[in-house]
Chains A and B, each alone.
Chain A
Amino acid sequence: MLLRTVALTKQFDRHLAIDAVNLEIRQGEVYGLIGPNGAGKTTLLRLLALADEPTSGSIFLGDDRLRYGANAPQQKRRLGFLPDDYPLYDDLTVRDYLDYVARLYRLKNPERSHRIQEVLALVQLESKQGALINTLSRGMRQRLSLAQSVLHQPSLLLMDEPVSGLDPLARSQFRTIVKQLQAEGMTIVISSHILSDLEDFCSSVGIMEQGRLVESAVLSELYDRLSCQHLIISVVSNVERLAQFLGRHSSISQIENGPQPNTLRALFTGTTLERSELLRSAIALEIPITDFHVTQENLESIFLKMDYQRTA
């Protein structure tokens, strides 16, 4: 386990922002943190990045316990943090800024120059290295901030709402960069409102609500457990026979007519293996299937449904 928190709590006067969170993140995982506004995602990330002091509880990075305010250069070097407001020095050029950051992290030449070139290529800012930071667009500033946070090759990268306010092109560029970092084996924790983005590259997700981590699981396991699948099956004729067949199956419920004639739509609650078995049985019974289509609820639907369940 790369990152582990034990009963991590942050209280602001009478408001419990983080309520005894026990989080476990494996090496190489991309962990998405989702939740409504005010759920405590930013506070949790700031605690993990040692930017805020927890009220109680502990954080472990590998076997080392992280302590806020401690002069622990080795531990700090293993962390990378991209806050949501990308604080930068506007009076420096892109290259001078990265050179300054690299020196703060004790990178020496020639490794420093080499690494700066690498991250500039990663974030596609090579052509802008001589530009003053105050002349960069929001998307470029965000990428430069990302470059700063990965320059020292941290074991754990924490990103708070990195794509908020970016246009679709900048979001797409960002997704590509994260996938590249993921391929390099970096462990990433990312909070975002844009769940479709997270779905694209997260291996695990945690759902936060009112300071609590109400769900934390590998994404595929979460889908199996919480996501509903709809089967849309079309036949040449005799749709009643198909309905009878489906009605006998234990994983099927809510059979209804589909969007086209001779088509049925059914709610399926079984596993992938059971779904394959269902199709094989139907063919064995010589049901004339012309189309077999599965739709799955996405992360957003699961999140909305969970929220609805809790509110109810």
Chain B
Amino acid sequence: MQSKPLPKWLDRLGDWNPQLLRELKGRMNDRSFLVTIGLSLIGQLIFLMFWFNQISNYPMPCSATNCPTNWESWFRAVFQNLNWLMPYIIYLPGIYYLTTDLMGEERRGTLNFLRLSPRSSQNILLGKLLGVPVALYFAVLLLLPLHVIVGIKAQAPIVFFLSYYAILIGSTIFLFTLSLLIGLSGRSSQDNKNTGGVIYILGLLFAVAMGFIPLVQNLGVYTFWNFAPQFIIDNRYGNGFQNSMTWFWMILSQHPILSHSLFLGNLAIMTTLFWQMTQRAFQNPNANFLVKRQSYFLIPYFTILMIGFVCRVPFNDESIQELSGEILVIGGLFSLSVMTPIIMALSTSRQTTLDWINSRSDHAWNDRIWGDRSPGTTAIAINILMMIGILTVPVLFNTKPNLITPQNFALVLLIQGSLCMIYSLLFQGMLLVKSPKRKTWANLLLFGAIGLPLLLSIIFGFGTSKPTFLLKAILLMSPLTAPFTLGSWDGLPPPILLMDACIVLGFQAAIIGFLYLRLRSQLRKLERS
């Protein structure tokens, strides 16, 4: 039995991207395709019916009892709600389709078959990205006329549409790429990968990314969507761009082009990064998704981005003086929210380390800095130095330090860096032990090392007017609480003495030395095994 010949355009599309054709053929004949389109139309109908019932709430200002409807106001309300709904409709089913599709391919064993085909990973993943949510794309296309008509009636300017669609498309590409990565990392039983770390980093990034969805907009809680710059153009259609938001002393709400460039630029950077990680996860499912050379870009990028947001207006001596303290707080947040997942992502499993030992070249240092299979500690040390270096730069402009002296600033920053190094050595070392539960132990140890000082600080640290040295030392054992030992904030313990901080730093250096020697001995043992 011969199947029906394909239309020429579809045949050509299939020659260019067989994966896309396979997805289209599999899904466009599917009943679920018709159901999705039906649901889109029925959804629009229900939405409009709901809003028609609300017409009486939008009267023109008049003294009579039956005032005529204020259509512009009604259309504005409908448009505002459509603006919030559109991301929901795209993101949630799309993320679900993509992650479950790839997990299903992995379970069936067909993903390996795709890996062995001569098509590039880019070609196959692009086919997935465009093909798997195809029914959804159609559903959204059917929704667009309603959005445009309502927007025109609400007198939304064309630039608002351009801005809105650019950000919607950008964030959709970003989230869908991330979904592919999550789908590819679905094999949680994989031994040759630090799954805990990967899930943690993905979970964290996913949580951030999901912030694009304005889940709690009516409660006034800020989400990332609040920062979407289309609302600079016309704030009537959203719940507000943050007027006070600055980046390197520039008020973003006053610079629509800058804010759009920043938003879309960051989306593009993060999408590129995830796209590279996704391709790598596809080509080599055993490898760490994040490679060292990516981390050398990621750390300076995130550090500069975060510093930008604390450089607030007005640009004067006072704001520069406050910068030191805020940068240390950023250092603390950064150590836990960015550096820790990167430590987990770059640390190599016992198997990968063994493979590295068996095949390492003579250029050991080159290998440790750039090699994908070498232990992650050298790369983490480089990243820490970059973080400290970049965080120090803005403080150099502070010519009149008053609250935080340069020595104290440097000490606290060094303490934050040394704590990250301790986390890295602890985690990497634990991943190399013989125990079959090494990954669990490594995760527990890392979270213990991060969480315990925090917990003790909360229990004993605050509200004490005369803290003991031990208490100060506990505060200095967490990157997050370390800045508070400087005592530049109201209601906190008096500033720590320089000597005390030096003692703590010396103690941390001794721990680093011990853990480093232990790691070396573990590597030698592995070499002999």
Contact = CB atoms under 8 A, between A and B. Distances in A.
Given A55-B358, A103-B21, A104-B117, 8 more contacts: A11-B354, A73-B118, A83-B112, A87-B110, A89-B26, A101-B117, A109-B11, A130-B2
B31 interface: no
Given A13-B350, A14-B529, A103-B21, A130 B118 contact: no
Contacts, number: 93
Contacts of B466: none
Given A71-B120, A77-B118, A96 B3 contact: yes
A83 B54 CA distance: 62
B286 interface: yes
B116 A100 contact: no
Interface in A68-110: 68-69, 71, 73-74, 76-77, 79, 81, 83, 85, 87-89, 91-93, 95-96, 100-101, 103-106, 108-109
Given A55-B355, A56-B359, A104 B3 contact: no
A53 interface: yes
Nearest to A131: B1
A11 B15 CA distance: 39
B287 A11 contact: no
A44 to B, nearest CB: 16
Contact of B118 (A53, A106, A109): A106
Contacts of B19: 104
Nearest to A52: B286
A12 interface: yes
A92 B19 CA distance: 13
Contacts of A69: 283-284, 287
A100 to B, nearest CB: 5
Contacts of B1: 95, 129-130
Given A69-B284, A87-B112, A88-B110, A100 B191 contact: no
20 contacts: A13-B191, A13-B350, A13-B351, A14-B529, A53-B286, A56-B358, A69-B284, A69-B287, A71-B120, A71-B283, A73-B120, A74-B118, A89-B26, A95-B2, A96-B25, A103-B14, A103-B15, A104-B18, A104-B118, A130-B1
Nearest to A80: B116
Contacts of A85: 109
Contacts of A71: 120-121, 283
Contacts of B437: none
B117 A76 contact: yes
A84 to B, nearest CB: 10
A95 B3 contact: yes
Interface of B: 1-3, 11, 14-15, 18-19, 21-22, 25-26, 108-110, 112-121, 191, 283-284, 286-287, 350-351, 354-355, 358-359, 434, 529
A-side interface size class:
35 or more
B227 to A, nearest CB: 37
A82 to B, nearest CB: 10
A49 interface: yes
Contacts of A93: 3
Contacts of A51: 112, 115-116
B418 to A, nearest CB: 32
Contacts of A13: 191, 350-351, 354
A156 to B, nearest CB: 13
Contacts of B116: 49-51, 76, 79, 81
A309 to B, nearest CB: 30
B22 A100 contact: yes
B258 to A, nearest CB: 38
Nearest to A14: B529
Contacts of B113: 87
Contact of B358 (A11, A50, A92, A105): A11
A150 B118 CA distance: 14
Nearest to B16: A103
